Amino acid sequence: MHCFSVLQCQSHVTEFSNAGLLYMNDLSKAEQQYKMNLTTTEKECNNELLKAEQQYKMNLTATENELKNERRIAGQYRNDLRKMFCVDPNTGKQEEQCTVCPDGWVKGSGVCYFISKESNSWTVSKDRCAKAGAQLVVIQDRKELQFLYNNLSSGIYWIGLRRVEREWHWVDGSLLDRNGVSFIQYQNQHCACVHYGSFYSMECNTLRQWICEREAVRV
């Protein structure tokens, strides 16, 4: 009876040992499979990252090429403008400092002037200038006044000068300097125009032609 029990115990030990070996074997296989799956996932991630990096570099190169082409076209356009507008009529040579104005504008000293043919109130004229990226003209000195006089017809033109309380202000915020300027004023007239080289006050709702100014574009 005792021997039977020993044999039975040995059998159980053997079964337990075999089960343990099977478990360890299965665990080892699972670990190997996990490592294989992990390696495969890492490879897939690395491949995706590599593809994304290559695509980014391709897009960056394409963008750089587009920018280079746009710069080339802009440079050619600039050269064409200089050939058209930046030649000294006296010498036939290109000017170092060259500016251009929009079509229909008069080129001054670094400034472009638009002289209207239609008439409007002072406020509407001011708005029309603003829509063109300009302002009603601010006449800085006698030289500029003379330039405009030489380019104007006999009409009366709104300028960027308006009375605020007791002072006359230009649309850029500066005060009128009366030195060397003929300015004829009338009561209850708060906007200014230019006529034959002199300034005149006028009722702001009067319909007159106007003069816009904007900076010339350097090329």
Q: Which CATH class is domain 99-218?
A: alpha beta
Measured in whole angstroms, the distance separating CA 21 from the mean position of its chain's CA atoms is 75
- Domain limits, the chain: 1-95, 99-218
Which one-letter amino acid corresponds to residue 117?
K
Count of alpha carbons within 13 Å of 193, Cβ hemisphere only?
Answer: 27
Confidence of residue 219 (pLDDT cuts 50, 70, 90): confident
Does the pLDDT at position 154 exceed 90? no
**Residue 201, H or E segment:** strand 198-202
- pTM above the 0.85 mark? no
Q: Would you state the pLDDT for residue 214?
A: 96
- Residues 37-94: pLDDT tens digits? 778 888 888 888 888 888 998 898 888 888 888 888 866 766 666 666 666 555 656 6
Q: How far is CA 77 from CA 64, 72, 99, 106, 139, in A?
A: 20, 9, 14, 22, 33
Query: What is the chain's percent helix, strand, coil content, to nearest 5?
Result: 45, 20, 30
Confidence of residue 104 (pLDDT cuts 50, 70, 90): very high
